[in-house]
Every structure is written in C-alpha cells, then in structure tokens.
C-alpha cells in the first residue's frame, strides 16, 4: 500500500529532521515512496524507493510496468536538477549485512 503523506507533511518532516536543509529537493508526486535522507559527502539528498515510485505511476497514471519503468528512468532518474537532485534506490533482496560481499 502506498502512503498518503502529502507534500506539505513531507516537507515538514524533512526540514524538521535536522538532517536536510532548505536546498534539499523532493520528487513531486512520489511522497509515498520517500525513504529518508542520504548524503553525498556533506550534501543532504532525499532518497526514494524506485520500485514504490513505479507502483505510484502504475496506480496514479494507469501505466503498465514497462511504461512506468521507462518513465522513471528517462523523466525522473534522468532529470538532473543540480547537486541536490534526489536519489532513487533500487533495493536488493540479496544484499544483507551477512552476505553483502556475495552480491
């Protein structure tokens, strides 16, 4: 199930966390896929679950899986908006603390 958190609530959460700053960019329409804040050196970046973003596109925009993947890769992940561009994480089912070196 996709979260119903709205943009204003997410902004309040991110900016109030103490980890992000006013330059941290959020991905519009993907509030339900927000995971947290990551860092590129000292730059705080919003992090989203790629697969949840795909699910959002499939539900919200009636795309099939292939269309949603293509949209994400070209229009979202491929959109560079400066050094505060959000990150989109591909979760690995195999990567765990015990076997991360085997992936």
* DSSP type of residue 33: G
- Segments in 23-72 forming alpha helices (H): 50-60, 65-71
State the Cα–Cα distance between residues 75 and 62, nearest whole angstrom.
16
pLDDT in single tens digits along all 103 residues of the chain = 445 567 777 777 777 667 677 788 889 999 999 998 888 998 889 999 999 999 999 999 999 999 999 999 999 999 999 999 999 999 887 555 555 555 4
Alpha-carbon distance of 25 to 99, in angstroms, equals 33
Question: In angstroms, what CA-CA distances link 37 with 20, 44, 97, 102?
Answer: 7, 6, 20, 26
- Indicate yes or no: pTM above 0.75: yes
């Amino acid at each position: 199930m996709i979260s119903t958190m709205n943009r204003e609530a997410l902004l309040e959460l991110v900016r109030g966390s103490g980890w992000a700053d006013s330059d941290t960019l959020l991905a519009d329409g993907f509030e339900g896929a927000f995971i947290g804040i990551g860092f590129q050196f000292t730059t705080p970046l919003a992090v989203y679950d790629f697969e949840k973003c795909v699910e959002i596109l499939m539900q919200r925009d009636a795309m099939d899986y292939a269309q949603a993947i293509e949209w994400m890769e070209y229009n979202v992940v491929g959109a560079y908006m400066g050094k505060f561009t959000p990150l989109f994480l591909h979760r690995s089912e195999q990567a765990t603390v015990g076997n991360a070196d085997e992936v």
